[in-house]
Amino acid sequence: MDDVLIIGGGIVGSLSALELADRGRRVTLLDVPRRHPPASWAGGGILSPLYHWRYPEPMNRLTLDGPRRYRELVRRLAGNGLDPSDLCESGLWVEADGAEAERGLAWARAHDQRCLAAPLSAHLPDGRAGQGLWFPEIGNIRNPRMLKALHAGLRERGVTRIEARATAVWPGERGGEVRLDNGERRRASTLLISAGAWSPDLLDALGVTVPLFPAKGEMLLYRLAPGQVPSTILTEQGYLIPRADGAVLAGSTLRKGDASTSPTAEGRRTLETMAAGILPMLAARRPDHHWAGVRPGSARDWPWLGEVPGTRGVFAAVGHHRNGLVSAPASAELLAQLMCGESPLLDPADYAFEPSSASSS
């Protein structure tokens, strides 16, 4: 029998494995990266929700210290191939004017976040005109490299990683049993379901229904000279995210209910138009790469984190939608605290499955 079995090797499941391994738990991680690219592939690693002030406090509490947590993770995983330059701390400019800018400034004051009103020309001189807010302490992480280094770090810490998909789950007196697509069955005294957009079927088997759906996102990558896009730029239409080597990501589309991972011509046209609208010089450039991923969409603006109703030792972390990366470190710490009987850093009632989420059957 496994001690802890985690279904899902994305950023939330993997960081939960790290937190649990740090606490001396023996962790097995089920992951299917070749079949289902991680949800973070559908985004660019911005360490903030898009338009932070539009989110409720439960999401703010998971994300406010995201930049600090990733600085610590980069230092910790430096020996696993993650370079300090993979964390870009050049700030975030957010398009906002008038009442929207006032809302953003008020939110920043209330949450002790550094924020200044600034035109786009102050941060992207070759870009189009625009007014917005400047958050100098919010950067971005190179998410593919982050996950690769994290998986290497988990191997060093004794976490067993199995490439298999969970097709069914049954609760036990404590924990549960999982059937894999290779026919194997595994039992665990503690079980965590963190399979992103593929979690609903597993939760349904436990008598729990939450408003989750797949949400496809497409991205482009341009090759520019380092520094041509000096900061992350967020507009209502999309965003540009710079990397240290000059790569610039343009994203992202959003198609609710679409679980496919193939990029589309329509998505490419949409992103090219958006990118050129922010930085006109990109109209004459061809993107180097175009890809897609699937986020764990949710009708709620913050995730469910905690024990599944009607079970003992079966937990779930679902519904992170577009904010899985930035909220993952705090989500993982909260989950590990709950699974190990520690005093939680956040009120777990904010993230618990509501009684109405458990079906009458």
Tell me the domain boundaries of the chain. Answer: 2-40+146-211+300-357
- Return the pLDDT at 237: 94
Average per-residue pLDDT in the chain? 94
- pLDDT tier at 359 (50, 70, 90 boundaries)? very low
Please provide the CATH number assigned to the domain covering 2-40+146-211+300-357. 3.50.50.60
Q: CB within 8 A of 342, min separation 6: which ones?
A: 336
Any idea what the Cα angle at residue 284 is, between residues 280 and 287, rounded to 5°?
100
- pLDDT tier at 301 (50, 70, 90 boundaries)? very high
Rounded to an integer, the average pLDDT of 280-289 is 96
Give the whole-number percent of the chain exceeding pLDDT 90. 92
Whether the pLDDT of residue 360 is over 90: the answer is no
Cis peptide before 252 (omega within 30 of 0): yes
Tokens found for residue 50 = 């898009």
Rounded to an integer, the average pLDDT of 341-356 is 89
Determine how many CB atoms are found less than 10 A away from the CB of residue 111: 14
Rounded to an integer, the average pLDDT of 237-266 is 95
Whether the pLDDT of residue 93 is over 60: the answer is yes
Residue type, 354: E
Whether the pLDDT of residue 343 is over 80: the answer is yes
Model confidence pLDDT, tens digit, residues 45-86: 999 999 999 999 999 999 999 999 999 999 999 999 999 999
Whether the pLDDT of residue 268 is over 50: the answer is yes
- Return the pLDDT at 33: 65
CA distance 339 to 140: 30
- pLDDT tier at 32 (50, 70, 90 boundaries)? confident
Q: Are 351 and 303 in contact (CB under 8 A)?
A: yes
Cα–Cα separations (whole angstroms), residue 262 to 218, 223, 259: 9, 22, 9
CA distance 245 to 212: 36
Whether the pLDDT of residue 277 is over 60: the answer is yes
Model confidence pLDDT, tens digit, residues 128-165: 999 999 999 999 999 999 999 999 999 999 999 999 99
- Return the pLDDT at 208: 92
Helix, coil or strand: residue 148: helix
Any idea what the Cα angle at residue 186 is, between residues 180 and 192, rounded to 5°?
85
- Return the pLDDT at 354: 76
Tokens found for residue 149 = 């280094």
